[in-house]
Structure 1
Amino acid sequence: MHEKTSSKLVNWVGYLAITMLVILPIAVLTVRSGAWQQGLMLFAIGCLGSTILLVLALVLGLFPLYRPHGNALRRRGLLAIPGTAILLSMVAGMGDYPPIHDITTDPDNPPAFSAAQSKRGNDANSLRIDPEVIETARQAYSDLATLETHLSIDEAYAQALATAQDLGWDVYRDDLNAGYIEAAASTAIMGFTDDVAIRITSNEAGTMIDLRSVSRVGRSDLGANAARIRKFIQAFTQQ
C-alpha cells in the first residue's frame, strides 16, 4: 500500500515537472504575441512551480519510503532545473537594478520623442520625463554619458543611423534636419518592444550624440535599456 502510494506521488512529481517545463516556452510565445501580462503570469507559474517541485523531489528522497525511487526522483528533478535556474537568476539580479524603465545619456536634458507616441498602445508607459526616475537612472547608471565625436554632424548622423539599423532596430523616424532618429528595439527572448530616441547635435567642440531608451510596458526593465545604450555606444565607436 505504502509502495503504491509513494510510486504514485513520484509519478505526479514527474507529470507536474513536465507541465511546468512546457509552460515556459508557451509563456514566452504568449508575451511575444502581445498578451504580456498573461504571459508573464504563466512564466512566473512555470518558474515557481518548477522550484517547488525540485525542492519536493529533494525532500522526498530523504525519506526511507522514497529511497527506492531515488533515481526516478532525480530524473524528475532534472526536469525542474530550467525553471528553478531562471527564477534564482532573476531573484539574484533584482537587487542590481532599480525599478525604472526610462534611461538616458543626458539626465539634464533627455532627448524627446515625437513619433514614438503613435507607435505605443494606450496602456504603454508614459513618455513624460519624470525627474525622480531620471535622477535614479543617473545614480544607477553613472557610466552612461553623452557620446562625443570629431565627426561632422552629417557624418555622425549617418553613422548613428547605420548603427541603429545594424543592431536590428526598426527605425521609424529619420530626420536629418532635426538631428533626430527614433526606433523600436526588442528584447531577445520575451520580445518586449522599447523605444529609442537618438539626438545628434554639435557645437564648437564637436558633435554630440545622446540616447534615451524607454520600455513600452513594465515597471522595471532589469537593466535592458541601459544595456541597449551601451551596446549602441560600443558599436558606434567601433565603426
Structure 2
Amino acid sequence: MTNQQAPRASTDTTSSPASAQPQAQKDILGYLVLIAGVGALVWGAVAAVGTGWGFWAYTSGLKGVAGAFLLGIAAILIGLVQEWRVRKSNTPPLRARRWLGMLVALVYVGWIGTFFMKALTVPAIHDVSTDLADPPAFQTLQLRADNLDHVPGADDPKMRGLTPEQRWAMVHQKDYGDIRSVRVNEPVPMVIAKAERLAKARSWDVAISMPEEGRLEATETSAFFQFKDDVVLRVRPSNKGEGSIVDMRSVSRVGQSDLGMNAKRVRSFLADLTGTVTAAQ
C-alpha cells in the first residue's frame, strides 16, 4: 500500500506547481485590464472635478479626460485580445477581473464618446442668440473678450471676405435656424418675473432681473467641470401692441465649441417660458 501511494504523491507534487504557474502568469493581464479600466474612470473623474475646483486650467482637465478615454480604449482592446487567446488555452485564467475592467472602461468610454460624437454634429461656436442682427447685449455680466476670435469658416471660400460676426451669423443660421425670437401674450414685467422664477428653479445664478426694463441676466454652472455659461433675456413690447417679444442669448465663458449646450438651453428655456413657442411676427 505504501508503494502504491508514493507515486501518487509524487505525481501530485510535480503537477501542481506546473499548472499553477501558467494560471498565475496569464492572470497578469486580468489585473492589467482591471487597473486600466478603473484607472480610466478615476483619471477622467479627477480631471473633471479638479478643473471645477480650480486645481488646474480647463484645457488641462480636457486633456486628462481625453487621456483617460484612450486608456479606457486600451483596456477594452487588451481584454478582447486576451479573451481571444485564452479561448485556445487548456487552462484559461479566471475572467472576472478582466471583464470587470472592460465593463468599467466601456462605461467611461461610452459616456465620453457621446460628447465626442456630439462635437462632430454641431457647429464649433459657443454663442447662441434668437436675434442674429441685434443680439441681446450683456450689461451686468461681461461678454468674453475673445468671443469672435475663433469663429469657423475663416478658410472657407464661401465665407471669404466676411467678418467674424458675419461668419458666426451664417454658421448659426445654418445649424440653429429654428432658434428665433418668440412672442408671449403677456406684458413685459410679467414675462421677466416668470423668467426669473424659471431661472431660479434651474439653479441659475441670477445676476440681475429688471422687470420694468425687460432684462434678465443669469449664469448656469455645469456639474463636473463647473463651466459657466451666461444668459441674457431681452423682452420688449410687441409692435402690434399685444404681448411681448422675447429674445434670448446664451454664451459659454470658455472654449470654442459648446457641444450644442447653449442651443439646447435656449430651446428648453423658451419652451418653458412660453408654453408653446411661437415665432415673433
TM beyond 0.5: yes
- Map Cα deviations across residues 124-148 of structure 1 (whole Å, 9 max, x no partner): 7437983312321121111111120
In the TM superposition, residue 42 of structure 1 has moved relative to its aligned partner by 1.6
> Hey, what's the Cα distance between the residues in 2 that align with 1:188 and 1:125?
24
User: Of 87, 95, 100, which aligns to 1:71?
Assistant: 95
User: Of 109, 120, 125, which aligns to 2:134?
Assistant: 109
The answer as to 2:37 corresponding to 1:37 is no
SS of corresponding position for 2:274: helix
In the TM superposition, residue 204 of structure 1 has moved relative to its aligned partner by 3.0
The alignment's C-alpha RMSD in Å is 2.5
User: Of 103, 126, 129, which aligns to 2:147?
Assistant: 126
Q: Specify the code of the residue in structure 1 equivalent to 2:190.
A: E
Instruction: Look up the match of 2:267.
Output: 230
Please identify, of 218-227 and 149-158, the stretch whose mean Cα deviation from structure 2 is larger.
149-158
SS of corresponding position for 2:256: coil
Please identify, of 86-95 and 204-213, the stretch whose mean Cα deviation from structure 2 is larger.
86-95
> Hey, what's the Cα distance between the residues in 2 that align with 1:238 and 1:188?
27
In the TM superposition, residue 67 of structure 1 has moved relative to its aligned partner by 7.3
Q: Tell me, which stretches of 5 or more residues in structure 1 are unaligned?
A: none
Please identify, of 103-112 and 25-34, the stretch whose mean Cα deviation from structure 2 is larger.
25-34
Instruction: Look up the match of 2:115.
Output: 90
> Hey, what's the Cα distance between the residues in 2 that align with 1:127 and 1:157?
29
User: Of 62, 68, 82, which aligns to 1:60?
Assistant: 82
Q: Specify the code of the residue in structure 2 equivalent to 1:192.
A: F
- Map Cα deviations across residues 72-112 of structure 1 (whole Å, 9 max, x no partner): 32232112112221233223322221111000111121111
Cα distance change on mapping 1:217 and 1:71 into 2, 3 Å:
same
> Hey, what's the Cα distance between the residues in 1 that align with 2:30 and 2:234?
59
Q: Specify the code of the residue in structure 2 equivalent to 1:43.
A: V
Instruction: Look up the match of 1:149.
Output: 184
- Map Cα deviations across residues 151-184 of structure 1 (whole Å, 9 max, x no partner): 1122222222222222221111223443221111
Instruction: Look up the match of 1:99.
Output: 124
Q: Which has the larger radius of gyration?
A: 2
> Hey, what's the Cα distance between the residues in 1 that align with 2:100 and 2:199?
45
The answer as to 2:258 corresponding to 1:221 is yes
Q: Specify the code of the residue in structure 2 equivalent to 1:232.
A: F
Contact 2:190 2:211 in 1 (8 A): no
In the TM superposition, residue 237 of structure 1 has moved relative to its aligned partner by 2.0
Contact 1:127 1:214 in 2 (8 A): no
Q: Specify the code of the residue in structure 2 equivalent to 1:53.
A: A
Q: Which runs of 4+ in 1 moved over 6 A?
A: none
Identity of aligned residues (%): 28
Q: Tell me, which stretches of 5 or more residues in structure 2 are unaligned?
A: 1-20, 150-163, 277-281
